[in-house]
């Protein structure tokens, strides 16, 4: 995003556009060669359970109404952040077995699929559905390469959030509503929790959750401009300020559960932060994206069971990510997918989805009416915040960079070796620094 300074793309060109089949009930879809109508629309995501599934189900309900000539086929593959889904998808795409649509993060992650020629230019679909004016220009830039649009954004999530169990914080006489101003202040509060006998001051899980904690620590310690510089080459990964932030990260991890490598974010949340009986909780905080309120909603736990604030040192910054949907090359039902994409981009589809997903609509015309308290607050924050991208969720860089960082963090979880981690981060940044030039 321009505010983010990680432009994938150039401009959304107002080129001549081909007419697009609309999603009217009179639509039929007869692929050449078979003569048979393709009804199924297979959509691939990692939203298989909890609040994430609730979000997808909301979107599906609008699809069933607006695209009743088609049948939705849910190809969700479980695993937070898409760890398993993305590997399976990559294999399927290579094998020529594409779904009709798949989830990809706007920005670097989408650019992989574009660079590999695995997704179609959907500029015409976009234009026909009036979507070229529906999203903020900054977000359009993240899904556009050389004037061509490649996906439809469904939402905006925020990564730099901390979720708090108020009952646990009270054990150390900490005010759960008061965010520590800096990472160092947060570390001091974690020490207080430990001293008060709290077993797991910080609930942590594997893979992308460790990466989010590292990114939030870098963002809090370096500030937004220097942090953004890590992804556009202006800030050096081998700097002393990065070393200091990695040391803070090491301290934060030392306050977390030792079984972190064995579980996903939702399991860590249920085990430590918010067990069914919150009185039995042994965890004080969890740093996680704002799919957490959706999960809490789906578990039917009251809003009063948790509190939240932006990660220490990152107040006023929205570390954003956006789930978007594509039209893969080789999709069996491109017309059905176009109907799905139209729903994804529509005001009604975005509302049905975001109401229960914790995220806010990507469309600029959305209002906060009817949304839970968290999203109402998030929509306000989004308007005024400075933006930073997330490598863990594909907005800052390509998937291979993300994978290298997660591998390094998994090793760090076992050895706590700061110089080795920093060397790996420097190497990964060096390998992928020029990723933008490989797209389009
Ligand atoms: C992110 C995705 C979110 C949520 C999260 C946890 O990558 O953008 O929508 O699904 O993973 O699984």
- Interval 145-174: pLDDT, tens: 999 999 999 999 999 999 999 999 999 999
When the candidates are 3.90.1310.10, 3.40.1010.10, 3.40.50.300, 3.40.190.10, the CATH number that belongs to 176-319+396-438 is 3.40.190.10
User: pLDDT > 70: what percent of the chain?
Assistant: 92
Handedness of CA 90, 389, 408, 401 (dihedral sign): positive
- At 77-115, the pLDDT tens digits run 999 899 899 999 999 999 999 999 999 999 999 999 999
pLDDT top residue among 204 and 276: 204
pLDDT at 278: 80
CATH topology (fold) of 13-158+323-387: D-Maltodextrin-Binding Protein; domain 2 (3.40.190)
> pLDDT confidence of 132, banded at 50, 70, 90?
very high
pLDDT at 20: 28
Given the CA of residue 105, which atom of ligand 1 is nearest to it?
Answer: 8
**Residue in 180, 102, 95, 141 with CA at minimum distance from that of residue 2:** 141
**What value does the mean pLDDT take over residues 5-24?**
31
Residue 59 CB–ligand 1 contact under 6 Å: no
Q: Are 106 and 151 in contact (CB under 8 A)?
A: yes
Question: Rounded to an integer, what distance in angstroms lies between the CA atom of residue 132 and that of residue 114?
Answer: 19
**Residue in 111, 135, 147 with CA at minimum distance from that of residue 231:** 111
How many angstroms is it from 44 CA to the middle of ligand 1?
13
Q: What count of other Cβ atoms lies within 10 Å of the Cβ of residue 182?
A: 15
Given the CA of residue 321, which atom of ligand 1 is nearest to it?
Answer: 8
**Residue in 293, 265, 314, 273 with CA at minimum distance from that of residue 376:** 293
Geometric angle at alpha carbon 429, from 316 and 319, rounded to 5°: 15
How many angstroms is it from 81 CA to the middle of ligand 1?
5
Residue 393 CB–ligand 1 contact under 6 Å: yes
Given the CA of residue 392, which atom of ligand 1 is nearest to it?
Answer: 7
pLDDT at 436: 85
Each domain of the chain, given as residue ranges in start order, spans 13-158+323-387, 176-319+396-438
> pLDDT confidence of 38, banded at 50, 70, 90?
confident
How many angstroms is it from 314 CA to the middle of ligand 1?
20
Do 13-158+323-387 and 176-319+396-438 agree at the fold level?
yes
Q: How high is the mean pLDDT of the chain?
A: 92
Given the CA of residue 47, which atom of ligand 1 is nearest to it?
Answer: 10
Residue 81 CB–ligand 1 contact under 6 Å: yes
> pLDDT confidence of 2, banded at 50, 70, 90?
very low
Question: Rounded to an integer, what distance in angstroms lies between the CA atom of residue 408 and that of residue 410?
Answer: 5
| Whole-structure pTM value | 0.92
**Residue in 375, 391, 383, 369 with CA at minimum distance from that of residue 321:** 391
Residue 436 CB–ligand 1 contact under 6 Å: no
pLDDT at 438: 78
Given the CA of residue 394, which atom of ligand 1 is nearest to it?
Answer: 7
Tell me the backbone φ, ψ of residue 213, rounded to 5 degrees.
-65, -40
How many angstroms is it from 80 CA to the middle of ligand 1?
6
Q: Are 192 and 186 in contact (CB under 8 A)?
A: no
């Amino acid at each position: 995003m321009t505010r983010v300074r990680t432009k994938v793309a150039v401009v959304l060109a107002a080129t001549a556009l081909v007419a697009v089949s609309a999603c009217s009930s009179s639509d039929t879809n007869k692929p050449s060669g078979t003569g048979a109508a393709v009804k199924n629309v297979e959509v691939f995501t990692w939203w298989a359970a909890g609040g994430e599934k609730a979000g997808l189900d909301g979107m599906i309900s609008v699809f069933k109404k607006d695209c009743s000539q088609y049948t939705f086929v849910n190809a969700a593959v479980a695993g937070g952040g898409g760890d398993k889904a993305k590997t399976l998808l990559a294999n399927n795409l290579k094998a020529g077995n594409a779904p009709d649509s798949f989830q990809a993060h706007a920005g670097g992650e989408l650019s992989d699929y574009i660079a590999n020629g695995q997704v179609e230019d959907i500029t015409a679909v976009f234009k026909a559905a009036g979507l070229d004016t529906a999203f903020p220009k900054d977000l359009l830039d993240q899904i556009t390469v050389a004037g061509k649009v490649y996906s439809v954004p469904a939402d905006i999530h925020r990564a730099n959030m901390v979720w708090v169990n108020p009952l646990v914080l009270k054990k150390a006489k900490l005010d759960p509503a008061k965010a520590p101003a800096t990472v160092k202040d947060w570390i001091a509060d974690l020490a207080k929790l430990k001293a008060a006998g709290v077993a797991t001051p910080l609930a942590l899980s594997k893979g992308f959750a460790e990466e989010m904690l590292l990114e939030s620590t870098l963002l809090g310690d370096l500030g937004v401009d220097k942090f953004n510089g890590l992804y556009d080459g202006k800030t050096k990964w081998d700097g002393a300020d990065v070393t200091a932030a990695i040391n803070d990260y090491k301290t934060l991890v030392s306050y977390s559960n030792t079984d972190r490598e064995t579980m996903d974010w939702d399991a860590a949340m249920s085990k430590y932060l918010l067990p069914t009986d919150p009185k039995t909780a042994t965890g004080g905080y969890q740093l996680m994206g704002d799919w957490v309120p959706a999960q809490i909603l789906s578990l039917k736990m009251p809003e009063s069971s948790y509190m939240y604030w932006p990660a220490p040192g990152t107040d006023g910054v929205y570390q954003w990510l956006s789930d978007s949907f594509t039209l893969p090359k080789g999709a069996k039902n491109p017309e059905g997918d176009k109907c799905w994409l139209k729903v994804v981009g529509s005001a009604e589809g975005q509302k049905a989805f975001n109401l229960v997903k914790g995220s806010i609509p990507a469309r600029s015309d959305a209002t906060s009416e009817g949304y839970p308290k968290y999203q109402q607050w998030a929509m306000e924050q989004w308007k005024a915040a400075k933006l930073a991208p997330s490598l863990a969720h594909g907005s800052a860089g390509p998937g291979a960079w993300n994978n290298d960082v997660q591998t390094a963090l998994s090793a760090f979880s076992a050895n706590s070796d700061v110089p080795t981690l920093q060397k790996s981060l420097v190497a990964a940044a060096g390998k992928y620094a020029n990723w933008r030039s490989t797209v389009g």
